[in-house]
Every structure is written in C-alpha cells, then in structure tokens.
Amino acid sequence: MIVINLKSYKHGKSVLQLAKTIQKNTPNAIVCASTIDIHSIIKNTKLSVYAQHTDPIQKRGTGFVDAAAIKQSGACGTLLNHSEHPLDFDILKETINQCKKLGLKTIVCAESLSEVKRISKLLPTAIAFEEPKLIGTKESIVNSRPRLIKRFVKLLEGKKIMSLCGAGIHNVQDVMQAYRLGCKGVLIASAIANSNKPEPLLKSLHPFSVEPKIIVFVDRDGTLIYDNKYHLGHARDWRKKIKYLPGVVEGLSLLNRTPGVQVYMVTNQPGVAIKEFSCLTEKRAHEVCQTMLLQLQEKGAFIKDYALCPHPTSEYVKSHTRFKFKHDMISNTCMKPKPKLLIELLKREKLTDPKLKLYMVGDRFSDIKAALNVCGKGILVPFQNKKKEIEAVPRNFKHTVHITKNFLDAARIILKHEHGN
C-alpha cells in the first residue's frame, strides 16, 4: 500500500495536476487531500482519496468537518491523528467509530509503541508509525529506527490492521526497506507533495502499490550466489565469500519494476546440523540471509523476505558420510523438494489468493520439484551448467519447467509467460 499525504503545499489547480501525475505513474496509490480539494480530485481522477483529517462532531459545529461530510464528499477514508493534527484518545475513538458506521476506512498515525498498542484496540484499517522529528527530512525512519519498526510490526501480528510506516521516506530504497522490515505499506508526503519533479519517484513506487499476482520463489546458493560447497556462515570470514552470480541484480530489478510481482528467497541450509560447523548456528544462517537481502537492496534489487530450512533429511545424511550430523536436527518434513517452506511462507505473508501464479527459480531439480509440489512452474538455472540437473528434468515437463542460463533470462521468461513482454 502506497499512501501519499498531499499536505497543504498545493491547492486548487496545482494539487489537481499533482493528483493527475500520481494517477499516471502510481494509479493504485491512495492520496490524502485537504477537504477543499477532495471533490475536485475525485471528479477528475480515478484515485482512491482519503481526507487528511476528520472531526467527531455530528451536530452543527462551526469549523468542523465530520465523518458524514467526508463521506458525502466522495472520499473512501480518512487519515487521523497525524503529528501535525493530533487527537485526544477519546475523540479518536469516537471518530473511528463514526467512520466505521459510515463505511469509511481509517489510517491512524502513531508516534510511539505505547500509542500503537492503545490505537490497535480501536481496530482502524491501518496504523502508520511515524517519528515526528523525521517528518520532512531525508533521514528515513526505516534506516534510522529499523528495530523499532520491527517491534511495531510485531505488535500488529494477528490483527486485521495494516502496518504502515512514514517519516523521511523519500526514495524507492526506503520503500523496499519498509517492506523488508515487515510493513505492508508506507506513508509518503514531502518527497512527492513538495517536489518539483515527482514523476521518477512515483514511477518507481508503482510495483509496490499493486496487490501481488505473481510470486517468485528463488533458491539461494548456486542461484543468487556462487556455491563453492563451503556452507556459507561456518567460517568467520563468511561475508567476504558472498559473491552474486551474473544477471542476479539485473533480473531481480526487472521483477521489482513489474507491478504485481513479489520475490522471496527459499533456501535449504543443512550445514546448520553439521557438528564440526560450530559457528554455523541457526541464528548465523538467518544472519547470512538477512545480510544478503540488505546487500541486494543496496544494489537496487529487492527480495521481500525469505524462508530457511536447517534440517537435513535422512537421505541427505546418508549421502554425506564425511560429515557428522546432530541427530536431533534430522527431519524429512521441510527440506526442498518438500513444499513446506513455500507453503508456510505464503501463509505467513497472507498470500492466500488461489489465483496467484507461483514460480520457483533454482539451480537444482529439487527446487523445480518444490515448485511443482505447490502447483507452480519451475525455472532451472543450473549452476556452472551442471549436466545431471538438466538431465533430471523429465521431457514431458516442458509446459511447467524451463531451463535457462542465468537469472536475468529466468526473470524474462516469467514476464514473457505472464505478460508477453
């Protein structure tokens, strides 16, 4: 969800022109407009328009705009409790209740975790976590307060409330980081509303404003990075050994620019169960994945999240006799090609639409089988052109399995198959 607060920088013709620019470049965005501009924007665009503020007064209060008036203006929701227009908690509660009765959605701003807890009890549509001192600056909350954002997201787990963050969000990297931290969207203002050239940022935001239609699962070792059989993370210098394969950044960026596509990393890490790898704990394995996602983000390539299996199967243990394994970690339930990792990730991300198109890109046939096990399609990118992985693909799978030379080509195949691009 991309929410753009137009604030009071512009009014009349100038704010309408900005709204048209938003519609052209990010048509699925929500715009929060001042009361006097709501009707004009609704009349001349197809944008979802929210009010910037709503009062709880139902009677004839001078200077107040209540929920009924906002509803009559054509708006579909309202922003509430912005740090520039805060509300007493009881007034906020009354306003949210009135909005619910009228079918208006509510995005409520909060500037502390304690405030988030109180507001969450009111069950608004969304809570936007902001730090007031960062508003209007280029110091984004997602980079300066990542741990705080994670705690905020955790507070809303299990609740039917969307988690947004704002304050200092000024480029697509900030938006990527917000999603990476678990937010379902962002609240942006000055970077667009006070910009002389908002088009480049708006264009880059478009993919994030669209509901996911295509999910691309990606293997890690041998697909995203070189796989030299060193079980990344077992040595202290593991960061130096992360080397991305050709076409990875370009392919991810291509997918990121396509509306409705979300990318997730899914990886088997049985090295966690090897006794002599004392440094390669499950915590370290997660640290490696998180580091990779941040590195890719810095390169302009975004992977929304990941799932990791640290459990070797009994078959894997038998075929790797040179290692001694921790027997309590041996399991036959989640290691690819089992579909458990993919299914649990979809559930965690609330991606339950049966119409979703699923793809898996990997360097082994086990990755491809994982895709087929969730009724998806597989794209084999064999690491160093391994003949045995290519030969493992049955010939009658040509409609559900593709073989290509690198990740960029895999991304192109997905887009060509879905969009004819």
Are 201 and 307 members of one domain? Answer: no
Are 175 and 266 members of one domain? Answer: no
Which of 179, 209, 239 is the last residue before a domain boundary? Answer: 209
Are 52 and 71 members of one domain? Answer: yes
| pLDDT for position 399 | 67
Rounded distance between C-alpha atoms, residue 402 and residue 379, angstroms? 5
Give me the average pLDDT of each 10-residue run along the chain (421 residues).
87 90 84 92 91 80 83 92 91 93 93 93 93 76 87 89 87 82 86 86 76 92 86 78 92 87 92 83 89 83 89 88 86 90 89 91 91 91 76 68 90 85 54
- The pLDDT tens digits of the residues spanning 228-238 come to 777 777 777 88
| pLDDT for position 397 | 67
Cβ neighbours of residue 136 under 8 Å, at least 6 residues apart?
168, 189, 190
Are 127 and 251 members of one domain? Answer: no
| pLDDT for position 395 | 67
Are 253 and 375 members of one domain? Answer: yes
Strand partners, 188: 4
- Active site residue: 53, 82, 170, 311, which one? 82
Q: How would you classify the pairing of strands 214-218 and 185-188?
A: unpaired
Question: For the chain, what's the residue count?
Answer: 421
Nearest CA to 350 out of 113, 88, 157 is that of: 157
| pLDDT for position 396 | 62
CATH number at residue 347: 3.40.50.1000
Q: Residue 373 is part of which domain span?
A: 214-419
Number of domains in the chain: 2
Which of 148, 174, 209 is the last residue before a domain boundary? Answer: 209
Are 21 and 155 members of one domain? Answer: yes
Q: Residue 249, Cβ neighbours under 10 Å: how many?
A: 18
SS3 state of residue 132: helix
Rounded distance between C-alpha atoms, residue 54 and residue 7, angstroms? 14
pTM score: 0.67
- Active site residue: 53, 94, 111, 130, which one? 130
Are 193 and 92 members of one domain? Answer: yes
Are 296 and 169 members of one domain? Answer: no
Which of 158, 186, 209 is the last residue before a domain boundary? Answer: 209
Please list the helix, strand and coil fractions of the chain in percent, rounded to the nearest 5, in that order. Answer: 40, 15, 40
| pLDDT for position 136 | 67
Are 199 and 219 members of one domain? Answer: no
- The pLDDT tens digits of the residues spanning 79-102 come to 999 988 999 999 999 999 999 999
Task: Respond yes or no: is residue 130 known to be catalytic.
Answer: yes
Q: Which amino acid is at 381?
A: V
Are 112 and 165 members of one domain? Answer: yes
Rounded distance between C-alpha atoms, residue 322 and residue 274, angstroms? 10
| pLDDT for position 176 | 80
SS3 state of residue 291: helix
| pLDDT for position 227 | 84
Task: Respond yes or no: is residue 389 known to be catalytic.
Answer: no
CATH number at residue 156: 3.20.20.70
Nearest CA to 130 out of 144, 122, 297, 121 is that of: 144
Strand partners, 30: 3, 48
Are 167 and 249 members of one domain? Answer: no
Are 166 and 69 members of one domain? Answer: yes
